[in-house]
Amino acid sequence: MNRFNRPGLRKRITESMNFSVFFFVAVIIAFLVGISFIASTSSRDQTRILTDAVNKDIIHCYAVEGYYPPSLKYIENHYGLTYDKERYIVDYVPIGDNIMPSVTIVEIKKE
């Protein structure tokens, strides 16, 4: 009898291959879940950074000029605010010269 033709050898090789395939698939799934988590965290951080930038520019305008900016376009032109207009909708509602405007930032989900 040949050492490669033992009755239990094929079963062990098959079980070993099954474990390797299972382990490979588990690693790939874990990698994809990790990538998805990082992408969602990054998206939340970008929204938060845009919110902070808009609020900072509003407050800076009030401190320098003595009144809140009349429009979002004013902030973009005078204070250098830039953002991806295809990804975010910024709703800027001025209430008065001495009352802080209402700002709502919504991320556009593209599928």
Residue 72 is assigned to a structural domain of this protein: yes
Contacts of 90 (CB under 8 A, 6+ apart): 50, 54, 72, 83, 103, 104, 105
Supply the range of the domain harboring residue 19: 7-107
Query: For position 58, what pLDDT does the model report?
Result: 95
Determine the pLDDT at residue 54. 95
- Is residue 79 one of the residues assigned to a domain? yes
The reply to whether 35 falls in a domain is yes
**Is residue 2, in this structure, part of any structural domain at all?**
no
State the DSSP string of 3-39: GGG-TTHHHHHHHHHHHHHHHHHHHHHHHHHHHHHHH
pTM (two decimals): 0.66
CA 61 – CA 59 distance, rounded (Å): 5
The closest of 46, 45, 81 to 60, measured between CA atoms, is: 81
pLDDT tens digits for range 72-102: 999 999 999 999 999 999 999 998 888 999 9
Look at 104 and 18; give whichever has higher pLDDT: 104
- Residue 14 lies inside a defined structural domain of this protein: yes
In a domain, 39, yes or no: yes
Determine, yes or no, domain membership for 27.
yes
pLDDT tens digits, 19-51: 788 888 999 999 999 888 887 788 788 889 999
Q: Would 57 be classed as within a structural domain?
A: yes
Count up the domains in the chain and report the number.
1
